[in-house]
Chain A
Amino acid sequence: MAAQAEIAFRNARLLDPASGLDQVGDLVVRDGLIAALGPGLPRNAEAGYKEELDCTGMCLAPGLVDMRVQLREPGEEHKETIATASDAAAAGGVTAMVCLPNTNPVIDDVAGIEFVARRAREVKGVKVFAYGALTRDLGGKELTEIGLLAETGALAFTDGERTVTDSLVMRRALSYASTFGVTVIQHPEDPALAAEGDMNEGEIATRLGLSGIPDCAEVMIIERDLHLVALTGGRYHAAHISTAASVEAIRRAKARGLAVSCDTAPPYFALNETSVGDYRTFAKLSPPLRSEEDRKAVVAGLKDGTIDAIASDHAPHDQDSKRVPFSQAAFGAVGLETLLPVSLELCHNGSMPLLEVLARLTQGPANILGLPLGRMEAGAPADLVLFDPDRPWTIDPDAFRSKSKNSPFDGRPVQGRALRTFVGGRTLFDRNGAG
């Protein structure tokens, strides 16, 4: 491609968590890459830029890397497709996302990984990666072809929303995956203990007459897995942790030097079990929204780096899956378009500095997955988000690009919004242009 796609961002607050950069300056994009950045770059005298943006008062950061997204394609395209999820991602400032293998068919073979890659090329949206299933058909018994899948591009291995409960299978998975240096991602919840559970166990569940999931269902699996990590030397990632005990278990494991990481999702640091209120099925999540004490522990875990990443945990569901009695409703919430503003609350409410919040959204997940993304430096792909950190707005699911509208943040007043999202220097989303 010719050197036509030159964009200059002027006077932006440049934020790069990887290098600790936080200063006002300029950034130039050329041929889809970041050509230069720094304070007061010289003007391009001869040609001028194709586009020169005055970014005064706005932030420019690496595009978000969302490490936990359900795309529903193939199999449930009425809920979401790679195209609609990509639009939603771009609108939320996400430039790369990694999908779970719990599609239909399950992504447990090379063809599945290739399908996602091909659809992503056709859609020409944000970068899309896939996890491979850890076990065939997510059955929890037989390992998939982890090596071949990794060669094809599977970033890591997980059974998605299912927990690998068989300790021997988990031991072998961690052990075998370590051959290829790939990470095993666990949805930590003891299914027997959580059986039939609708929400967090406690007073609210008791009042509502809903069956509860005890919080220890999460840490029990994490603790077991940590022993297996120590035994095998495998690399382990606990997905969407939600309890104080889990944060503490990971904190201790890291202190012991185990190769472990974890993420959480905005509902777990921005909401608690009271959001279920009067049977709000949009607040029915897996893991369930927990107590206020747990929520605070998750914030503390993010703050001290125990929790490496914030993922959207995007789980689109149609109305028929949610407009039903609570115990019949599907688990999960959409999150791509609320990831940035709800995460920015951590900064606005003084819990974490802006650069730290962005680290959990960019470099943090990229490092876990070994992706050369989430950095804003010369030579890196120009995957960028331009956002106004303070702009107040109210979350309105009807305006989502996602096909599904199941958000527990419906009507929440937030501050901060993506204005423009670039992938490889190409504008995928422009709030002014998109209206």
Chain B
Amino acid sequence: MTEKTARSNLAFPHRHLLGIEGLSPDEITLLLDLSEAYVEQNRLEDKKKSTLRGRTLINLFFETSTRTRTSFELAGKRLGADVINMSIATSSIKKGETLLDTAITLNAMHPDVLVVRHPYSGAVKLLSEKVNCAVINGGDGSHEHPTQALLDALTIRRRLGRLSKLTVAICGDVLHSRVARSNIHLLNTMGAHVRVVAPPTLLPASIGRLGVEVFHDMREGLRGCDIVMMLRLQTERMKGSFVPSIREYFHFFGLDYDKLSVAKEDALIMHPGPMNRGIEIDSELADDVGRSVIQEQVEMGVAVRMACLETLASNGVVGSAR
């Protein structure tokens, strides 16, 4: 691939990547195309580039994460940036002002990109208003997780060659899921048909207004679809009884070969991870290399994050507002 650092800001006129909502099809395509190139590079022996040499990336995680943080760390390092990881336990952010104090403190260290994950919706946007660098939302509450949606889109596009006109069923705990919201926005923007499948207790109010078809029955929801996206049942966010039992949940909403049989013959199975085997997805099915692209999603994650880092780092004109 060629160096693309000289790209015009006009192609991606955003300082931060806080969500998918509001991005145009061209902007999404731009990021996916750039990611595509990085997929190839990441399979080479020498994976390292110097695109972001001298730049500093800080991973600021207010919520535990292994794969997203590692993925961003690897992406930053492969682009030659200096990467710092900061994990801040949720207990110490009980007082919300710590968030802005942290932002102001980190800002004084002149990072070029901040990747932020936070348990509260909107927290990453709030933080982005207080810093001079580019901010990537690594997941905020139940709001958005834009790089996850991008990596899902890249995975689909590489497998099926397109996004438009595909039917995608997003199944499970949509209520608490930022992955679901980002995917709904992205897939709709790119012209796919999106369905959500879950019991009503796990669907947010008026979800249909986001442009999705709503199903409460897995077989109906999966019928004829190209992609089945399973969501993790977010037991840690569960306050009160959303479903009566894990057993009942798996029986009606867990993905197994039987329920999958109504989808298209070659329908792909996706999961943002980490999986609850035997809760939302049958363990054997999750490992079925013929159907499951879960490993591939992880691989695409690094490429997508490289593309996002590069795009924003070159947009932000290093540490100063445009």
Binding site for B on A (CB under 8 A): 195-196, 201-203, 205-212, 214, 278-279, 320, 323-329
Known contacts A208-B122, A327-B121; can you find 4 more A-B pairs with CB under 8 A?
A205-B204, A208-B121, A320-B95, A323-B97
Which of B138-146, B268-276, B294-302 lies at the binding interface?
Answer: B138-146
B173 CB, min distance to chain A CBs, angstroms: 13
The answer for the CA separation of A324 and B96 in the assembled complex, in Å, is: 5
- CB nearest to B208 among chain A residues: A203
Q: Judging by beta carbons under 8 Å apart, are A207 and B210 in contact?
A: yes
- CB nearest to B178 among chain A residues: A209
**Which residues of chain B come closer than 8 Å to A206, judged between CB atoms?**
204-207, 209-210
The answer for the CA separation of A208 and B143 in the assembled complex, in Å, is: 5
**Which residues of chain B come closer than 8 Å to A211, judged between CB atoms?**
142
**Which residues of chain A come closer than 8 Å to B97, judged between CB atoms?**
320, 323-324
**Contact residues, B113-135 vs A (CB, 8 A):** 118, 120-123, 125-126
B146 CB, min distance to chain A CBs, angstroms: 13
> What does DSSP make chain A's interface, helix, strand, loop or mixed?
loop
Find A326's partner among B120, B144, B209, B239 (CB 8 Å cutoff).
B120
Chain B interfacial residues counted at CB < 8 A: 28
Q: Judging by beta carbons under 8 Å apart, are B99 and A324 in contact?
A: yes
B124 CB, min distance to chain A CBs, angstroms: 9
The answer for the CA separation of A328 and B210 in the assembled complex, in Å, is: 26
**Contact residues, B59-93 vs A (CB, 8 A):** none
Find B140's partner among A196, A209, A328 (CB 8 Å cutoff).
A209
**Which residues of chain B come closer than 8 Å to A205, judged between CB atoms?**
204-205
Q: Judging by beta carbons under 8 Å apart, are A325 and B210 in contact?
A: no
* B181 contacts chain A at the CB level, 8 A cutoff: yes
Find A209's partner among B141, B206, B209 (CB 8 Å cutoff).
B141
Q: Judging by beta carbons under 8 Å apart, are B205 and A210 in contact?
A: no
Q: Judging by beta carbons under 8 Å apart, are B209 and A279 in contact?
A: no
* B21 contacts chain A at the CB level, 8 A cutoff: yes
**Which residues of chain B come closer than 8 Å to A203, judged between CB atoms?**
205-206, 209-210
Find A202's partner among B140, B142, B206, B239 (CB 8 Å cutoff).
B206
**Contact residues, B232-251 vs A (CB, 8 A):** 239-240
Known A-B contacts A320-B97, A323-B100, A324-B99; the reply to A207 vs B181 at CB < 8 A is: yes
- CB nearest to B97 among chain A residues: A320
Known A-B contacts A196-B239, A325-B122, A327-B121; the reply to A209 vs B144 at CB < 8 A is: yes
Known A-B contacts A208-B121, A279-B125; the reply to A327 vs B141 at CB < 8 A is: yes
The answer for the CA separation of A208 and B164 in the assembled complex, in Å, is: 25
**Contact residues, B166-216 vs A (CB, 8 A):** 178, 181, 204-207, 209-210
**Which residues of chain A come closer than 8 Å to B143, judged between CB atoms?**
208-210
B95 CB, min distance to chain A CBs, angstroms: 8
A338 CB, min distance to chain B CBs, angstroms: 24
The answer for the CA separation of A210 and B205 in the assembled complex, in Å, is: 11
**Which residues of chain B come closer than 8 Å to A329, judged between CB atoms?**
96
Known A-B contacts A207-B210, A327-B141; the reply to A279 vs B204 at CB < 8 A is: no
Q: Judging by beta carbons under 8 Å apart, are A201 and B205 in contact?
A: yes
**Which residues of chain A come closer than 8 Å to B144, judged between CB atoms?**
209
A326 CB, min distance to chain B CBs, angstroms: 5
The answer for the CA separation of A211 and B176 in the assembled complex, in Å, is: 9
The answer for the CA separation of A227 and B275 in the assembled complex, in Å, is: 50
A283 CB, min distance to chain B CBs, angstroms: 12
- CB nearest to B143 among chain A residues: A209
The answer for the CA separation of A201 and B209 in the assembled complex, in Å, is: 13
**Which residues of chain A come closer than 8 Å to B96, judged between CB atoms?**
320, 323-325, 328-329
29 A-B contacts, Cβ less than 8 Å apart?
A: A196-B239, A201-B205, A202-B205, A202-B206, A203-B210, A206-B205, A206-B207, A206-B210, A207-B21, A208-B143, A209-B121, A209-B122, A209-B141, A209-B142, A209-B178, A210-B121, A214-B205, A278-B125, A279-B122, A279-B126, A320-B95, A320-B96, A324-B100, A325-B99, A325-B118, A325-B121, A325-B126, A327-B120, A327-B122
**Which residues of chain A come closer than 8 Å to B206, judged between CB atoms?**
202-203, 206
Top 5 A-B pairs, shortest CB-CB distance:
A324-B96, A209-B143, A279-B122, A209-B142, A325-B120
**Which residues of chain B come closer than 8 Å to A323, judged between CB atoms?**
96-97, 100, 126
The answer for the CA separation of A195 and B140 in the assembled complex, in Å, is: 20
The answer for the CA separation of A40 and B118 in the assembled complex, in Å, is: 68
Point out which of B96, B100, B206 has the most chain A C-beta atoms below 10 A from its C-beta: B96
The answer for the CA separation of A328 and B205 in the assembled complex, in Å, is: 21
Point out which of A206, A214, A278, A320 has the most chain B C-beta atoms below 10 A from its C-beta: A206
**Which residues of chain B come closer than 8 Å to A195, judged between CB atoms?**
239-240
The answer for the CA separation of A407 and B278 in the assembled complex, in Å, is: 49
- CB nearest to B206 among chain A residues: A203
- CB nearest to A210 among chain B residues: B121
**Which residues of chain A come closer than 8 Å to B181, judged between CB atoms?**
207, 209
**Which residues of chain B come closer than 8 Å to A324, judged between CB atoms?**
96-97, 99-100, 126
Find B122's partner among A196, A202, A320, A326 (CB 8 Å cutoff).
A326
B214 CB, min distance to chain A CBs, angstroms: 12
**Which residues of chain A come closer than 8 Å to B204, judged between CB atoms?**
205-206, 212
**Which residues of chain A come closer than 8 Å to B100, judged between CB atoms?**
323-324
B169 CB, min distance to chain A CBs, angstroms: 19
Q: Judging by beta carbons under 8 Å apart, are B207 and A279 in contact?
A: no
The answer for the CA separation of A411 and B239 in the assembled complex, in Å, is: 38
A278 CB, min distance to chain B CBs, angstroms: 6
The answer for the CA separation of A92 and B137 in the assembled complex, in Å, is: 42
**Contact residues, B285-320 vs A (CB, 8 A):** none
**Which residues of chain A come closer than 8 Å to B178, judged between CB atoms?**
209
A195 CB, min distance to chain B CBs, angstroms: 8
